[in-house]
Structure 1
Amino acid sequence: MSMDMGMTIKKRANHKRWLICCVALATTRSLAADTEFTPYVGGGFTYTDNIDRTAEDRQGSLISDLSAGITTDIQGADGNIDLDYELNQLFFSHDSNENETYQTLSFAADKGISRTGFRVEAAASIENIARAVDQNANADIVSGDTIENKDASVGVSYRSNPRSKVDLTARAYTDIVNNEDDIGNYNGYGAEFSFANGESVKKLFWQIDASYQYKESKDNDDDTAITLYRQDIGFQTLSGWVPLVRFNFEDYEGTSDADSADTLSWGPGVQYFWTKRSYLELSYNFSEDDNNSDFWAGAIHINPTPRTRILAAYDKRFYGDAYELLLSHRSRRITNSIRYTEEAVSFDRDLFSSDSTVEEISLSRRLEWTTVLTGRRTDYELNIFHDEREALNATADEQNDEVDGIGIAVRHRLSRRFSLAGRFDYDYYQFISRTRPTQNDYYRIYELEGKYQINKQLTSSFGIEHNNKSSSFASNSYDETRIFIDIRMQL
């Protein structure tokens, strides 16, 4: 089964009501809008020499795939709808009991309300994710070891006119998540707003950002609430100096005292602008909680052009030292971005391992470097990343899960109809447990794919893929080679 650069794994599903609702909404809106509606069908074969991805007793299988889907783009008056849906039926030669139907869905819609500044929005997705990354982080619908994840949200947002005295953005939403294995299912809601001085205000400066997020488990009594508030108020001066006062508050109400915390700090600071968009910031903060002592904080923002931005910041949060980094630059042929973020999360299946308590609040750190070079006939992509999930509960069994990875992809167009693509992915996972030995897993993926456009409606892809996993737990290691061919026809 071919995988284009940037494509996600095909998904599994048991219900059709998601598609029915989305198509009904798309049909209603299309009466007075520009609509692109592209249905398609397809099919293909994949042969694997290790269907169960086991270290021993390898079993081969020929998998037949029948698919159908639609892509829809509706652009209306101050609104739009995007819908991508695909249904796959797989047939396995080694065991017909493994035959299964899968689907994937990506849906987003928003609509302005009569030039009031308000917008309503809705989103939904269905995707298959690894059941547990310590078992098989590269699980897909051919190998199994996946669970279906469904997410749906509805919200309303507001944006004022930033050229007036007030620049206000606000949003309220509700969110529902269902996982096939019932781990991490929740109902949630939240709100967020940003309140700043408008462009017409010349003497004062203020920036207030706040958010609230509540999640309640659908399967037990666990719930979490996260409240964040930051406020900067100061005076604008002709010389570019902006004296200000900072105020930061965070409150985390987790499933127990072990993953609950709050922090409060305030203090004077100053910003110096040497251009309209570039400045330095330094502040001294008095801590009003037991987590941190008084501290210095600082940041540098460099934004010489709309295509180039640099941000580096140091602060303190409830867990101690906190950092943020962003370097981004775009030119005609190259896009380069480096980003580092830290945030507290709950009910999150990213980096979920077998003994994790997904409902608890944990600390997530992510560093990602992406470079894309677009040539006349050849495109290159480099992605380097580090993900880490740290438990705040010192008694939790799974204390720290992390992954380091690098991906390289190249696509070359030999002609208007024929292209070749190759990719290499290397990922290193480490799982640190309080009760078990540390687990180290190494994943390597090599793929070569060809794509040929037979005519405007008909496209074929074919290729070979090799998957290798070596683990400190030998029974988790495997080698697998796949050969695939697919064909897709637009209707």
Structure 2
Amino acid sequence: MSMDMGMTIQKRANHKRWLLSGMVLMTARCLAAGVEFHPYVGGGFTYTDNIDRVSEGQQGSLISDISAGISTDIQGVDGTVDLDYELNQLIYSHDSNNNETYQTLSFAADKGINRTGFRINADASIENIARAVDQNANADILSGDTIENKDASLGVNYHSNPRSKIDLSAKAYTDIVNNEDDIGNYNGYGAEFSFANGSTVKKVFWKIDGSYQYKESRDNEDDTAFTLFRQDFGLQTLSGWVPFIRLNFEDYEGTTDADSADSLSWGPGLKYFWTKRSYLELSYNFSEDDNNPDFWAGAVNINPTPRTRLFVSYDKRFFGDAYEALLSHRSRRVNNSIRYTEEAVSFDRDLFTTGSSVEEISLSRRLEWSSALTGRRTEYELTIYRDERESLDVDAEEQNDEVDGIGIAVRHRLSRRFSVAGSFDYEYYQFTGRTLPTQNDYYRVYELEGQYQLNRHLSTSLGFKHNNKSSSFEPNSYDETRIFIDLRMQL
């Protein structure tokens, strides 16, 4: 027993060392051309009238924030490195036992290998996320009910010349995720590829997409594996009609039989192109699994200009009816996007609730509408979204979690140095369990902030923020008002 544990620990340590060594090597190789370092220090005060965010017995506190960080942009020979790191020391007036240090990190590096088509990329992040969204989805480091999430990945990409007979892109990667509370920690790896005809092929077309993803828990024996494969093969004609044959396969191996599933379908189809980028697609598919009967599938893609696109599709997957939609439009001042996606996820903390099994595979659905308008001195942003997480295990306690949200933000520049911003965010959460009563939470956040650039290196901000939560579980409701002032100096 002890020998197995020693071997496991050594294996994990080597895995981390290899990943971090690769990221450091990439950074060193990119240090060749333009390098920009922007270190800074800052400090500020925030007063809150409800530091514990409770419904009764509210207590105020003055929070001192001392911060330091660096922002780096490196443009090397066929490579880039972007790094943002910040350290915050919080000091609480009401109880020094709450004093804590927090860190955030965003790192991305990319390097080409001697014009071979191969590239190495590395990413790392540190962020503080809500401990559990059913307790407080609006958690932040000031309220102290967050956990630190660390993620690091290293990958190798390849892309051939698409102007030849083949267009091949492929990627292999490894990933490490660590959460402060040890829930959902995993080591993972995967690969994906896309193989299609190049632009010189005129009579036939093909497109083959495949991916594999494996995640292994570092705290128990749970693991998951995703395998996806899609193939289209057909004839290109001069009249715009394109007959083809499609094949779809997906296999999900979960922690138990309850969250495992697969599906396989194939069939003939027909596309009609009325422009080079716009088409209508229809296919009849024979189902070779027990989840779905034979079915019709279709898609519409309208792409009149590179700035405007509408795409809608209907298909069947392991969970039944499947939809995808995208509407995007960009102009000089306006940027609009509406997107709907469905995917299976595991080891995901986005909608983690108390006591749920984060390792299990669940079905995630997301609808998001984002819109931005940029005026001469004023910027407007609107975001509307809906997230749903459905358990594949009918016997699991957590069956369905949903969140609907809307965010509105306005920023106005009064002068070259002074700007004001205001925002309003509303979120509605619903947590549905198999035996427990449904929980409904409502969040409302109002914020007003002014920013003033004192000189080239020194800026300050002053603002007001109000957080309100009402819950069907009354002890979870709260009201909180904050007033804050910050000062930041570029070194």
Aligned to 2:368: 368
Matched-pair contact (CA < 8 Å) for 2:202–2:236:
yes
Query: Structure 2 vs 1, CA of residues 23 and 164 (structure 1 numbering), >3 Å: closer, same or farther?
Result: closer
Distance between the aligned counterparts of 1:229 and 1:309, measured in 2?
25
Aligned to 1:486: 486
Distance between the aligned counterparts of 1:163 and 1:273, measured in 2?
21
Distance between the aligned counterparts of 1:309 and 1:69, measured in 2?
40
Letter paired with 1:210: G
Aligned to 2:161: 161
Letter paired with 2:156: V
Query: Structure 2 vs 1, CA of residues 110 and 138 (structure 1 numbering), >3 Å: closer, same or farther?
Result: same
Q: Confirm whether residue 56 of structure 1 aligns to residue 34 of structure 2.
A: no
Deviations 1:117-167 (A, max 9, x none): 000111000000000000000000011111000000001000000000000
Distance between the aligned counterparts of 2:32 and 2:354, measured in 1?
49
Per the TM alignment, residue 435 of structure 1 is displaced from its structure 2 partner at its CA by 1.6
Distance between the aligned counterparts of 1:77 and 1:430, measured in 2?
50
Distance between the aligned counterparts of 1:61 and 1:463, measured in 2?
17
Distance between the aligned counterparts of 1:155 and 1:455, measured in 2?
42
Letter paired with 2:84: D
Matched-pair contact (CA < 8 Å) for 2:390–2:400:
yes
Q: What count of residue pairs does the alignment treat as equivalent?
A: 473
Q: Which sections of structure 1, spanning at least 5 residues, go unmatched?
A: 1-16
5 Å-filtered alignment, 1:31-430, equals 31-430=31-430
Deviations 1:286-318 (A, max 9, x none): 000000000000001111111111100000000
Distance between the aligned counterparts of 1:33 and 1:444, measured in 2?
47
**What SS does the corresponding residue of 2:65 show, helix, strand or coil?**
strand
Matched-pair contact (CA < 8 Å) for 2:50–2:61:
yes
Q: Confirm whether residue 448 of structure 1 aligns to residue 437 of structure 2.
A: no
**What SS does the corresponding residue of 2:135 show, helix, strand or coil?**
helix
Q: Percent identity?
A: 79
Per the TM alignment, residue 36 of structure 1 is displaced from its structure 2 partner at its CA by 1.2
Per the TM alignment, residue 77 of structure 1 is displaced from its structure 2 partner at its CA by 1.2
Matched-pair contact (CA < 8 Å) for 2:23–2:154:
no
Aligned to 1:6: none
Query: Structure 2 vs 1, CA of residues 312 and 321 (structure 1 numbering), >3 Å: closer, same or farther?
Result: same
Letter paired with 2:346: S
Aligned to 1:471: 471
Letter paired with 1:453: Q
Aligned to 1:8: none
Query: Structure 2 vs 1, CA of residues 113 and 52 (structure 1 numbering), >3 Å: closer, same or farther?
Result: same
Per the TM alignment, residue 355 of structure 1 is displaced from its structure 2 partner at its CA by 2.5
Deviations 1:235-278 (A, max 9, x none): 00000111000100010000000000110000000111111111
Distance between the aligned counterparts of 1:175 and 1:23, measured in 2?
12
Distance between the aligned counterparts of 2:447 and 2:149, measured in 1?
26
**What SS does the corresponding residue of 1:192 show, helix, strand or coil?**
strand
Letter paired with 2:119: R
Letter paired with 2:71: T
Letter paired with 1:302: I
Aligned to 1:7: none
Distance between the aligned counterparts of 2:31 and 2:107, measured in 1?
19
Matched-pair contact (CA < 8 Å) for 2:206–2:231:
yes
Distance between the aligned counterparts of 2:100 and 2:77, measured in 1?
41
Distance between the aligned counterparts of 2:345 and 2:23, measured in 1?
33
Distance between the aligned counterparts of 1:153 and 1:24, measured in 2?
12
Letter paired with 1:236: Q
Distance between the aligned counterparts of 1:44 and 1:172, measured in 2?
44
Query: Structure 2 vs 1, CA of residues 480 and 251 (structure 1 numbering), >3 Å: closer, same or farther?
Result: same
Distance between the aligned counterparts of 1:254 and 1:55, measured in 2?
40
Distance between the aligned counterparts of 2:191 and 2:315, measured in 1?
24
Letter paired with 1:268: P
Distance between the aligned counterparts of 2:27 and 2:355, measured in 1?
45
Matched-pair contact (CA < 8 Å) for 2:27–2:81:
no
Letter paired with 2:189: Y
Deviations 1:176-201 (A, max 9, x none): 00000000000000000000000000
Per the TM alignment, residue 28 of structure 1 is displaced from its structure 2 partner at its CA by 3.0
Per the TM alignment, residue 33 of structure 1 is displaced from its structure 2 partner at its CA by 1.2
Using the TM superposition, name which of 257-266 and 28-37 deviates more: 28-37
Letter paired with 1:420: V
**What SS does the corresponding residue of 2:28 show, helix, strand or coil?**
helix
Matched-pair contact (CA < 8 Å) for 2:284–2:296:
yes
Letter paired with 2:389: R
Query: Structure 2 vs 1, CA of residues 30 and 267 (structure 1 numbering), >3 Å: closer, same or farther?
Result: closer
Distance between the aligned counterparts of 2:26 and 2:318, measured in 1?
44
**What SS does the corresponding residue of 2:452 show, helix, strand or coil?**
strand
Matched-pair contact (CA < 8 Å) for 1:448–1:464:
yes
Distance between the aligned counterparts of 2:107 and 2:31, measured in 1?
19
Matched-pair contact (CA < 8 Å) for 2:27–2:109:
no
Using the TM superposition, name which of 439-448 and 348-357 deviates more: 348-357
Letter paired with 1:289: D
